[in-house]
Amino acid sequence: MSNEPRRAYLALADGTVFSGTAWGAAGSVTGEVVFTTGMTGYQEVLTDPSYFGQLVTMTTPHIGNTGINGRDPESLDSRPRVSGFIVRDPSPVASNWRTVEDLDPYLARHGVVGIGGVDTRRLTRHLRDHGAQNGCIGTEAPDSLVDRARAAPSMAGLDLVAQVSPKSRYAFTESREDWAVPFGGDRPFLASGRATGARFHVVALDFGAKRHILRCLVDAGCRVTGVPASTTAEEILALAPDGIFLSNGPGDPAAVTYAISTIRGLLGKRPIFGICLGHQLLALALGAQTFKLKFGHRGLNQPVQDLVSRRVEITLQNHGFVVDVASLAGRAHSTHLHLNDGTSEGLAIPDARAFSVQYHPEAAAGPHDALYLFERFTAAMTEAA
């Protein structure tokens, strides 16, 4: 990092300005300002396609101390997907045996504008009180940045899936065993489904899928074919899948009308498992409704209760929209609720062998409490065979 950091500002659409120092790529950027409460996993955050179009605030202060490695990117092309990055204390030194690059040059190389030295506690409280809103990071005069923040498009009504979904079909074969370091001795992190051969063919509708979710499907014994979000129901069924996976992704689910139509055409034809945006789109395909949360759920410490077992899971989440629980009545069973605000975290349609969760059960970076959901999906495919 430079010995003479440039002064930079984060300006919110409501006129609030936070000062700091320029970091990462030069220039300025607009987007929705949000915060994530995870204490670790900043590389996963940077590369999660669900953060596309957002200026992400890390609530933990010390960021960059473990550098960047080649194993943890979540986007399939390994590139960062956030629009901007906001931190308190960017570390000038990286110390980790897997590090291949420092964070500052990594951000600069990929064109991600960052700002360091921000009072992120004050910013987080402000977003909690006033809601997530558009902002602009830059080195220009604050008044100019405020004007740009106000002119940026609202996340509500915005289809961002088209900008992160792949353009063509692909096969995904990585397992978690390829990624993980053994905990000790010869014991692998998680047994790979490849050891006994893939038992199921799963077509993944890729709305901005995280790499680790697809690894978990492989480990569960699935041969995974990823397809663009614009793929029709007829085209998916022509691939002869045993099951269909609906991935995570960015933006307003109600704006992804083509995917909603596709899912509607798939219901009851094959077992379906959805995560995050996939959960919201499945609900919309049923005729339920979604709405935007005040500041969203983002972080790897979100409490969720399974309404059947009454078990509480600590989960990884990243979403600003949510399914209206009341609108599910008569359409699907509500299976999981967020314990902080009672919002929808899961649904099931037993007659159609379809289910989904709002949170991310793949544990990257996050707790392992919900890995059983991948086995639930394979059990549904076994029953349907």
Q: Which of 276, 279, 319, 336 is catalytic?
A: 276
- Residue 345: what are its φ and ψ, rounded to 5°? -130, 0
* Residue 276 a catalytic site member: yes
Q: How far is CA 63 from CA 21, 102, 110, 302, in A?
A: 14, 11, 17, 21
**Which residues, in sequence order, are CB contacts of 359 under 8 Å at separation 6+?**
275, 276, 302, 304, 313, 315, 316, 317, 336, 345, 370
Q: Token match 């396609």: residue?
A: 49
Q: Which of 212, 319, 336, 360 is catalytic?
A: 360
Tell me how far apart the alpha carbons of residues 250 and 281 are, in angstroms, rounded to a whole number.
12
Verify cis geometry, omega within 30 degrees of 0, for the bond prior to 162: no
Q: Is the CB of residue 10 less than 8 Å from the CB of residue 44?
A: no
β-pairing, 200-206 vs 222-228, is: parallel
Paired tokens of 53:
């179009």
β-pairing, 222-228 vs 170-172, is: antiparallel
Helix (H, G, I), strand (E, B) or coil at 202: strand
* Residue 368 a catalytic site member: no
* Residue 360 a catalytic site member: yes
Q: Which residues are catalytic?
A: 276, 360, 362
